[in-house]
Amino acid sequence: MPELPEVETIKNDLNKLIIGRKILDVRSEFPDIIKMDFDEFKKEVVGSKITDVKRRAKNLIIELGSVTGGKYLLIHFKMSGHLIVIGAELEVKNGDWVTRVGPLSDPQNKYVRAQFILDDGNQIAFSDLRRFGYIKLIADSQELKAILEQFGPEPLEKAFTVEILEKILEGKKSPIKKVIMDQKNIAGIGNIYADEILFDAKIHPLKPANRLSDEDIRVLYKSIQQILKLALENRGTSTSDYRDASGKRGNYGNIRKVYRKTGEPCPNNCGGKIERISVGGRGTHFCPKCQKL
């Protein structure tokens, strides 16, 4: 489940691998993941040069320069999507690689839904087992801005202050977990990091957002930044589908504290056991002894 740290890792990888490359061809055996007529998409994209790769919330944005001005690929990975940069000599048939070597022997990398063939002998492959992810073509910077404006602040940027977090929580009686996962409130936090952040902050996931004390809010603010930063340093979490641009796993799953650790002893050695409940229909893991309502 690519959340902020995972999408940011892919962004950083791609900035090293594909800037300045020209797109020679686009192929897909699952054209539905491209949210427009495939032939038209192909016509718009082939021949353009990749000038930048950005991230906003859980969206990856590939900027395409052209004589007529910038266009953008807006990519959302949803549950199982990721991009792999790999040699163009590899072929795809029925969504699977014909030759599977190295990182491609990892089953999570084989569900190829679209390929962008580059002018340096490589290709960008969009692998997505569950096909929730999508690629959209954005015509210009105004259209892009209109889409990206709908997301809340980026939690790792300076503009995200404890005062802003306070405002976000104000008057919301929904469980705090739901509130921090809502992309309109804060951008980039999904189920894994919501659980990890709330454990770190010692706040019960069901605690109503408007009932957090000033101290709770300060601690939560710190935990949001620290956990996301730590996850980024560890190149994300790969407990299930996520892989980086080389098809490799992230390390954060190995150091996570509570996510999918139901029944295990609390890492704080408080004597409690990690419990699993449902919050807003999502599996939620927490220590009932450390995290108070």
Partner DNA sequence: TGCAGTGTTGCTTC
Partner DNA sequence: CGAAGCAACACTGC
- Interface residues with DNA (CB under 7 A)? 1, 3, 32, 57-58, 76, 78-79, 107, 111, 129-132, 172-174, 181, 183, 190-192, 259-260, 276, 280-283
Rounded to a whole number of angstroms, the minimum distance from the CB of residue 290 to DNA is: 20
231 to 108, 253, 293: CA distances (angstroms): 20, 9, 26
Indicate the residue among 80 and 291 with the shorter CB distance to DNA: 80
Indicate the residue among 50 and 112 with the shorter CB distance to DNA: 112
Rounded to a whole number of angstroms, the minimum distance from the CB of residue 207 to DNA is: 14
Q: Is the dihedral of CA 244, 95, 33, 31 positive or negative?
A: positive
Out of 218, 276, 282, 289, pick the active-site residue.
282
Rounded to a whole number of angstroms, the minimum distance from the CB of residue 253 to DNA is: 12
Indicate the residue among 5 and 247 with the shorter CB distance to DNA: 5
> b/e per residue, 102-140, with b = 16+ CB within 10 A?
ebbebebbbbbbbbbbbeeebbbbbbbbebebbbbbbee
3 catalytic per annotation: yes
256 catalytic per annotation: no
Indicate the residue among 43 and 130 with the shorter CB distance to DNA: 130
Out of 3, 8, 154, 196, pick the active-site residue.
3
167 catalytic per annotation: no
Rounded to a whole number of angstroms, the minimum distance from the CB of residue 282 to DNA is: 5
Out of 55, 56, 58, 243, pick the active-site residue.
58
Indicate the residue among 2 and 247 with the shorter CB distance to DNA: 2
Rounded to a whole number of angstroms, the minimum distance from the CB of residue 248 to DNA is: 19
> Annotated active-site positions, please?
2-3, 58, 282
